[in-house]
């Protein structure tokens, strides 16, 4: 009887722990996202009014684009920014989007202050040849 109980306990242990069955391996490091090359003109530093745009970065895939810039107030006065528009242009100077990416900012910049701005678009903007910025009221 002791052998029957032992065999039942071992069988239950295999059943409960799943020993003996092959588990599906899930690869958590799936790097299937493919980023597209970006035109260097898009990444160049620019000046807009009293702001210097630096450290421009852009990542684009087939389904979205993330665009990040750093803005520095180069004046000796506090500057209020309400809206900031970004225009992505093709090689002919035509806008790639129906309208610019409009970013409500509503912030002030102290003299010399640097702030970052990151925007995303549900479009592939990797074919942009240039970017233009506009401070808007």
What are the structural domains, with CATH classification, of the chain? 46-136 (2.60.40.3230)
Instruction: Please give the average per-residue pLDDT across 45-64, as a whole number.
Output: 94
Tell whether the model's pLDDT for residue 8 goes beyond 60: no
| Gap between the Cα atoms of 135 and 56, Å rounded | 17
Is the pTM of the predicted complex or chain greater than 0.85?
Answer: no
| Of 11-20, 40-49, 69-78, 88-97, minimum mean pLDDT range | 11-20
DSSP one-letter code for 23: P
Closest to 19 (Cα-Cα) out of 10, 7, 6: 10
91 vs 16: which has the higher pLDDT: 91
Q: How many C-beta atoms surround the C-beta of residue 81 within 10 A? A: 21
């Amino acid at each position: 009887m002791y052998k029957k109980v032992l065999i039942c306990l071992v069988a239950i242990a295999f059943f409960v722990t799943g020993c003996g069955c092959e588990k599906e391996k899930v690869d958590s490091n799936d790097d299937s996202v493919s980023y597209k090359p970006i035109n260097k003109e898009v990444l160049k530093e620019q000046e807009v009014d009293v702001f210097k745009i630096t450290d421009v970065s852009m990542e684009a895939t087939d389904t979205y684009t993330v665009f990040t810039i750093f803005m520095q107030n180069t004046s000796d006065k506090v500057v209020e920014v309400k809206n900031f528009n970004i225009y992505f242009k093709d090689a002919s100077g035509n806008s790639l989007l129906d309208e610019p990416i409009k970013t409500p900012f509503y912030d002030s910049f102290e003299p010399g202050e640097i702030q970052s701005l990151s925007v995303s678009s549900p479009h592939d903007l990797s074919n942009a040849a240039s970017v233009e910025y506009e401070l808007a009221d």
